[in-house]
Every structure is written in C-alpha cells, then in structure tokens.
C-alpha cells in the first residue's frame, strides 16, 4: 500500500471540517500528508487539524470571496509547497427551475462554481513552481444525470466537471493532473438535516427512500469517497487525468 502514501506531500482540502471534506482530510493525514484544512468555519477547521495531527493546520476561508481565498492561500504558502488540492467545499439546494429563486441560484454559483475556480486559481501557481501536482474536484452524478428538483445544484456540478476537463487539458504538460469524483447520495450531516426539516416525524421512511435511490440499496459513506480521493491524488494514479469518476452504487448502469 506504499504506492498510495502521501508522505512528504502538502494537501489542501476545502470544506475539510465536515462531511466528505473532513473524511478526505483525515484519510490524507493518515496516509502521511501534511493537511491544510480549509473551511468557512475557522474554529472547526482548527479543531479538525488538531484531531488529525501530523502537522495539519486549519484555515478559515470563504471560497466564494477572492480576498478570503487569497489570504488563506498566502498563509498556506508560508508552510511549504502545495502538492495536492481537493475542492470539497460546496452547498446543496432542492428546487426546480420555477421554485429556485435568483438568490439561491446566485448563492450556489458563488460557492460551487466561483469557489472552485478561485481556489484552483490560487493553488495552481504553487503547483507550477513545485513542478506538478494533483487537483481533485467534487462533482456529482447531478452533473450528468437529470435528477428531480436539483436544477441549480446540477448546473453548478456540471460546471465543476467542465472546469475539471479544461484544467486537465491546459496544464497536462506541466505535470498537473486534474480529475473529479461524482458521488451519488452520500450520508452526511446535510442529509440528516434535510430529512429532519422536510419529513418531521417520518425520518425513517424518508431515509429508506433516499437509500433505495441507489441500486446497491444504501447511501455512500464519506470514507468511501475519501479512499477514492486518496488513490486519485496519490502517485499511483499518475496516468489518470481529465476523468470524472462515478461513485454511485450502480446508479448509472444498474437501474
């Protein structure tokens, strides 16, 4: 398993204080990386970094704001080069075209699309200077499947997929790889909160329906996404770039 180790590498994980991002940051730290945990909640980012150990640090950052991103990455740069970047920060939304407000549309665009753009733009020069690196963006099956009531969310994840392909093409010659992962539904605190708000008193039935949407019969686990992320960001995946990896419990091919 040494081929999957990240010893000596510096990894930045946005949204790293909770959910999928936290699972990725933790697995990377276990694999030997020095992790910079970046999150909107600076206190949670620092607490997560302390829990991971291994030289992990926590950074407060609003990925939707250029000044905040630049400040965070200026600080991270003082600790050494950036070898790996994972864009996991994001927000979700439930709604159709007609039920999605302009405010919600703009909010999702700012965080999921503009945030991914700003963070990649801030990290890439450090990778160029270091002679290469690996970028992993968190997309979704919503990027390529017509999911009900996911209009704005699907729009943003389609953009993440397109940006991934563009970056992979433009910086391949500089030994910078860029891929994305497209999970189906993953059981995170967001899902629990959504179910509690939307189906009060019927949480168990709602969870059963959400689980059954994946042919495998359950939701994914954050650590399952993290292990795929570890492979894609390790030297074991040195021949992999410009790829969208579905992690979907059979969603696309077995329905």
Residues with catalytic annotation?
153
- DSSP 8-state class, residue 92: -
- CB of 148 within 8 A of CB of 214? no
Q: What per-residue string of b and e applies to 191-228 under the rule 16 or more CB within 10 Å gives b?
A: beeebeeeeeeeeeebbeebbebbeeeebbebebbbbb
Angle between helix 189-198 and helix 203-212 axes, rounded to 10 deg = 130
| CB neighbour class for 234 (10 Å; exposed up to 12, middle 13-18, buried from 19) | buried
Rounded distance between C-alpha atoms, residue 29 and residue 25, angstroms: 6
């Amino acid at each position: 398993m040494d081929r999957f180790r990240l010893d000596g590498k510096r990894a930045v994980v946005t949204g790293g204080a909770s959910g999928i991002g936290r699972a990725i940051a933790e697995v990377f730290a276990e694999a030997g990386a020095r992790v910079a945990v970046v999150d909107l909640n600076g206190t949670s980012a620092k607490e997560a970094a302390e829990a991971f150990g291994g030289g992990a640090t926590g950074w407060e950052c609003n990925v939707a704001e250029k000044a905040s991103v630049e400040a965070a990455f200026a600080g991270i740069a003082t600790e050494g080069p950036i070898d790996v970047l994972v864009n996991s920060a994001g927000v979700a939304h439930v709604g159709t075209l007609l039920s999605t407000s302009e405010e919600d549309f703009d909010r999702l665009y700012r965080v999921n699309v503009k945030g991914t753009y700003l963070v990649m733009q801030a990290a890439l020069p450090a990778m160029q200077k270091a002679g290469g690196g690996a970028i992993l963006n968190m997309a979704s099956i919503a990027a390529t499947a017509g999911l009900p009531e996911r209009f704005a969310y699907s729009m943003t994840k389609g953009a993440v997929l397109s940006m991934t392909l563009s970056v992979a093409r433009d910086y391949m010659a500089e030994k910078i790889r860029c891929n994305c992962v497209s999970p189906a539904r993953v059981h995170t605190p967001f899902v629990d909160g959504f179910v509690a708000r939307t189906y009060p008193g019927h949480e168990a039935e709602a969870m059963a329906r959400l689980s059954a949407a994946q042919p495998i019969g359950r939701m994914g686990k954050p650590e399952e996404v993290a292990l795929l992320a570890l492979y894609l960001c390790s030297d074991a995946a040195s021949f992999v770039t410009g790829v969208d990896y579905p992690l979907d419990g059979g969603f696309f091919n077995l329905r």
